Amino acid sequence: MSTSINLAVIPGDGIGQEVVAQGLKVLAAVLPQDVKLETREYDLGAQRWHRTGETLPDGELEALKDHDAILLGAIGDPSVPSGVLERGLLLKLRFAFDHYVNLRPSKLFPNTATPLAGRPEIDFVVVREGTEGPYTGNGGSLRTGTPAEVATEVSVNTAYGVERVVRDAYERAAARPRKKLTLVHKNNVLVYAGHMWKNIFDKVGREYPQVATDYLHVDAATIFFVTQPERFDVIVTDNLFGDILTDLAAAVTGGIGLAASGNINPTGAFPSMFEPVHGSAPDIAGTGKADPTATVLSVALMLRHLGYEEQAVRIEDAVAADLAERDGTFRSTDRIGDALAARVAG
Ligand code: NAI
Ligand code: MG
């Protein structure tokens, strides 16, 4: 644990700006006096692209490497063609900084609404592979725009990439009380990648006899997320499956306004990046309706990653207490940020 945090901040677009301001407010309130917080803001996202045509210039990519961590709001706007910022900024960062663990915890807090009947206990974490699968840009199109167009999008899976994320998931499962790890894939159809994932999952599992294991096809997993979410503890899965499953997980645990994530490089070779799962929400930007809780919980993940466990727990407890007090009633972005900052400081 360092006595200073040198944080890069990318507020981004839309509500990204609004929620990051609250996340920083809570971070400043929770840190002990003797921990020095330095922040540098990076102007990246849709506005920058409109102004200069740049998404993530090399100079800024280099500068970002010098930080201990990155806090990101959200990137994207309907005025930018789909894929430009996702590929040119978000995915570029995840790949360049080798964020091979995409960590997405899902917890149903007391007094938050869930569409699920009977209020099951939900407390699981998805470890989504972050650097491979169908997201590598390995594809192309031929005869583009003609009736004879051909498009490929190849899913890349390496034994190296799968083993390191599977190993990370076993470590996380072994450290949790229930010690259960579920592999989600689709190895009855995607036989090449699926069998490699399963073989590596079984092989690494022999080193973790204390962890109970399970396997589910992704389609079955969507059923159990709704009918039996309490069966999950830690889930490890492919990049695309993890993307989709974690939106569903957010929907059953109080909504996208609460879903936090970390793009983690466990080796520490590059800074890890923490961000809410949601996007820039242009439909509510500027109205004060954005819930900053997902960003605040992402700050907690960041603190835990940097070794500030006590402060991370303090934030999570504050969120639980605040949600209980809110009891489903509307609070503005600022008001939630102020309430959480007051609780963690107290
Ligand atoms: P979105 O997550 O921005 O919004 C989906 C719905 O959830 C909207 O109705 C929105 O109002 C609501 N919502 C989202 N966050 C909320 C919050 N904190 N509090 C209350 N309500 C919230 O997803 P959408 O609309 O598909 O995408 C909008 C833009 O964001 C697009 O340009 C997309 O590419 C980008 N995006 C960026 C992401 C990122 O930066 N990591 C992730 C997802 C989308
Ligand atoms: Mg997504």
Ligand 1 site-directed mutation target among 86, 93, 280, most atoms within 8 Å of CB: 280
CA pair distance 266, 269, nearest whole angstrom: 8
Q: Is any atom of ligand 1 closer than 6 Å to the C-beta of 77?
A: yes
**Amino acid 228: pLDDT:** 96
Answer whether 85 contacts ligand 1 (Cβ < 6 A).
no
CATH fold of 1-98+262-346 reads Isopropylmalate Dehydrogenase (3.40.718)
Enumerate residues with CB within 5 Å of ligand 2 (an ion).
Answer: 243
Residue nearest (by alpha carbon) to ligand 1 atom 36: 279
* pLDDT at residue 312 is higher than 90: yes
Residues of the binding site = 94, 104, 128, 219, 243, 247, 279-291
Strand duo 150-153 + 36-41: pairing = unpaired
For 49-104, the pLDDT digits (tens) are: 999 999 999 999 999 999 999 999 999 999 999 999 999 999 999 999 999 999 99
249-282 per-position pLDDT tens digit:
999 998 899 999 999 999 999 999 999 999 999 9
DSSP H or E run through 39: strand 36-41
Q: What is the mean pLDDT of the chain?
A: 96
pLDDT of 276: 96
**Between the CA of residue 116 and those of 121, 223, 226, 239, what are the distances in Å?**
11, 12, 7, 26
Q: Contact at 8 Å (CB) between 29 and 343?
A: no
Expressed in angstroms and rounded, the spacing between residue 82 Cα and the centre of ligand 1 is 14
End-to-end CA distance of the chain: 23
From atom 34 of ligand 1, which residue's Cα is the shortest distance away? 76
Q: Answer whether 1-98+262-346 and 114-253 agree in fold.
A: yes
| DSSP-derived secondary structure for 46-61 | HHHHHHHS-SS-HHHH
The contacts of residue 83 (CB under 8 Å, 6+ apart) are none
178 alpha carbon – ligand 1 mean position (Å):
32
278 lines ligand 1 (CB under 6 A): yes
The CB of 257 under 6 Å from ligand 1? The reply is: yes
Q: Which of the residues are catalytic?
A: 135, 186, 219, 243, 247
State the pairing for strand pair 123-129/234-237: parallel
What interface predicted TM-score (ipTM) does this complex get? 0.97
Confidence of residue 234 (pLDDT cuts 50, 70, 90): very high
**Segments making up each domain of the chain, as ranges:** 1-98+262-346, 114-253
Query: What's the CA-to-centroid distance between 121 and ligand 2, angstroms?
Result: 24
Residue 159 has pLDDT above 70, yes or no: yes
Q: What is the pLDDT of residue 255?
A: 85
pLDDT of 223 strictly over 70: yes
Axis crossing angle, helix 309-326 with helix 15-30, rounded to the nearest 10: 120
What would the mean pLDDT of 228-246 be, rounded to a whole number? Answer: 96
Report which protein residue has its CA nearest ligand 1's atom 11.
Answer: 281
Determine the average pLDDT of the residues in 203-209. 98
- Per-residue model confidence (pLDDT) at position 111: 85
Residue whose Cα lies nearest atom 32 of ligand 1: it is 76
Looking at residue 2, what is its pLDDT? 58
User: What is residue 328's predicted lDDT score, i.e. its pLDDT?
Assistant: 84
pLDDT beyond 80 at 346: no
Topology of the domain comprising 114-253:
Isopropylmalate Dehydrogenase (3.40.718)
Q: How confident is the model at residue 44 (pLDDT cuts 50, 70, 90)?
A: very high
Residue carrying the six token digits 């009918």: 227
Q: Which ligand is nearest to the CA of 278?
A: 1
Ligand 2 centroid to residue 209 C-alpha, Å: 33
- At residue 1, the pLDDT reads 55
Sorted by sequence, the CB contacts under 8 Å of residue 190 that are 6+ apart come out as: 155
